Amino acid sequence: MKINIVFTFLFFSMLSALPIFATGDGGQFVVVLDAGHGGRDPGAIGSSSSNREKDINLGITLEVGRLLKANCPDVKLVYTRSTDVFVELGRRAEIANNAKADLFVSIHTNALPKNARKVSGVQSYTLCLRTAPSNLAVEKRENSVIALEGDAAKKYNYNTSAESDIMFELMQDHDMKESVNFAKIVQNEMVHTAGRNDMGVLQANLAVLRLTYMPSVLLEVGYISTPEEERFLMTTSGRQTMAKSIYNAIARYKAQVTGKVSKLEKPQSASVIASATESATSISEEPSAISATSGEAKQTIYCVQVLAGSNKLKSNDRQLKGLKCDIRQKDGRYIYTYGQASTLDEAKILRQSILDKFPQAFIVTF
Q: How many domains does the chain have?
A: 2
- Give the mean model confidence (pLDDT) for residues 167-173: 51
Q: How confident is the model at residue 249 (pLDDT cuts 50, 70, 90)?
A: very high
How far apart are alpha carbons 270 and 265 in whole angstroms? Answer: 15
Chain Cα centroid distance, residue 133: 21
Residue 282 pLDDT > 70: no
Residue 264 included in any domain: no
Q: Is the pLDDT reported for residue 263 higher than 50?
A: yes
> Would you state the pLDDT for residue 246?
97
Q: Check whether residue 130 and residue 275 sit in a common domain.
A: no
Higher-scoring residue by pLDDT: 158, 231: 231
| In-domain check, residue 265 | no
Q: Which of 142-146, 165-169, 305-309, 346-350 has the highest mean pLDDT?
A: 305-309
pLDDT at 251: 94
- Other Cβ atoms closer than 10 A to 19: 18
What does pLDDT average to over the chain?
A: 77
Q: What pLDDT is recorded for position 25?
A: 52
Tens-digit pLDDT profile for residues 97-148: 999 999 999 999 999 988 887 889 999 999 875 544 444 454 454 555 545 5
Q: Note whether residue 212 is domain-resident.
A: yes
pLDDT at 244 over 50: yes
Residue 69 CB partners (closer than 8 Å, separation 6+)? 75, 77
Cβ–Cβ < 8 Å for 279, 235: yes
Confidence (pLDDT) at 133: 46
- Dihedral of alpha carbons 216, 112, 242, 239, sign: positive
Q: Are residues 349 and 240 in the same domain?
A: no
| Region of poorest pLDDT, from 37-41, 170-174, 294-298 | 294-298
- In whole angstroms, give the CA distance from residue 208 to residue 205: 9
- What pLDDT is stored for residue 185 in this prediction? 94
Residue scoring higher pLDDT (131 or 331): 331
Per-residue pLDDT, averaged over 304-330, amounts to 85
CA dihedral 247, 248, 254, 255 (to 10 degrees): 150
Same domain for 84 and 130: yes
Percent of the chain clearing pLDDT 70 (strictly above): 71
Q: Which residue has the higher pLDDT, 286 or 300?
A: 300
Task: State whether 227 and 83 are in the same domain.
Answer: yes
Residue 284 has pLDDT above 70, yes or no: no
Average pLDDT over residues 283-303: 47
Domain match, 222 and 351 both: no
Same domain for 234 and 352? no
Do 250 and 302 share a domain, yes or no?
no
Q: How far apart are CA 183 and CA 137, in angstroms?
A: 19
**What's the pLDDT at 145?**
56
More confident residue, 311 or 267: 311
pLDDT higher at 260 or 360:
260
Q: What is the pLDDT of residue 144?
A: 54
Grade residue 305 by pLDDT with cuts at 50, 70 and 90.
confident
Instruction: Determine the Cα–Cα distance for residues 37 and 45; give it in Å rounded to an integer.
Output: 12
- Structural domain containing residue 324: 270-365
Q: Tell me what percent of the residues of the chain surpass a pLDDT of 90.
A: 40
Query: In whole angstroms, what is the distance from residue 179 CA to residue 229 CA?
Result: 26
Please tell me the predicted confidence (pLDDT) of residue 155: 53
Q: How far apart are the first and last CA of the chain?
A: 73
Q: What CATH number is given to the structural domain containing 323?
A: 3.30.70.1070
**Contact criterion met (CB below 8 Å) for 214 and 175:** yes
Taking residue 243's Cβ as centre, other Cβ atoms within 10 Å add up to 24
Give the number of residues written for the chain. 366
For residue 106, the cross-strand partners are: 34, 218
Q: What is the structure's pLDDT at 149?
A: 57
Instruction: Please identify, among 222, 238, 258, the residue that sits at the C-terminal boundary of a domain.
Output: 258
Whether residue 10 is predicted with pLDDT greater than 50 in this model: the reply is no
Please list, in sequence order, all residues whose beta carbon lies within 8 angstroms of the beta carbon of residue 231, skipping any fewer than 6 positions away.
Answer: 238, 277, 278, 279, 280, 281
Residue 303 domain-assigned (yes or no): yes
Lowest-confidence segment of 35-44, 45-54, 227-236, 314-323 by average pLDDT:
314-323
Residue 299 has pLDDT above 60, yes or no: yes
Return left, alpha or beta for 339; rule: phi > 0 is left, psi -120 to 50 is alpha, else beta: left
Are residue 220 and residue 341 in the same domain, yes or no?
A: no
Give me the mean pLDDT over the 334-362 stretch.
82
Look at residues 258, 281, 311 and tell me which one is the last residue of a structural domain: 258
CATH number, domain with residue 199: 3.40.630.40
Output the CA–CA distances (angstroms, integers) from residue 68 to 34, 61, 193, 247, 317, in the order listed: 14, 11, 17, 7, 48
**301 and 349 together in one domain:** yes
> Do 286 and 163 fall within a single domain?
no
Given a cut of 60, whether residue 361 has pLDDT beyond it is: yes
Would the pLDDT of 168 be above 80? no
List, for residues 199-224, the tens digit of each pLDDT value.
999 988 787 788 888 999 999 999 99
> Do 195 and 303 sit in the same domain of this protein?
no
169 and 293 inside one domain: no
Residue at a domain's end among 215, 238, 258 = 258
Q: Alpha-carbon distance 313 to 311, whole Å?
A: 6
Give the per-residue SS3 of the chain: CHHHHHHHHHHHHHHHCCCCCCCCCCCCEEEEEEECCECCECCCECCCCCCEHHHHHHHHHHHHHHHHHHHCCCEEEEECCCCCCCCCHHHHHHHHHHCCCCEEEEEEEECCCCCCCCCCCEEEEEECCCCCHHHHHHHHHHHHHHHHCCCHHHHHCCCCCHHHHHHHHHHHHHHHHHHHHHHHHHHHHHHHCCCCCEEEEEEECCHHHHCCCCCEEEEEEEECCCHHHHHHHCCHHHHHHHHHHHHHHHHHHHHHHHCCCCCCCCCCCHHHHHHHHHCCCCCCCCCCCECCCCCCCCECCEEEEEEEECCCCCCCCHHHCCCCEEEEEECCEEEEEEEEECCHHHHHHHHHCCCCCCCCCEEEEC
pLDDT at 150: 56
Nearest to 67 by CA among 222, 183, 193, 181: 193
Q: What confidence category does residue 269 fall into, taking pLDDT thresholds of 50, 70 and 90?
A: low
Beta partners for residue 103, in sequence order: 31
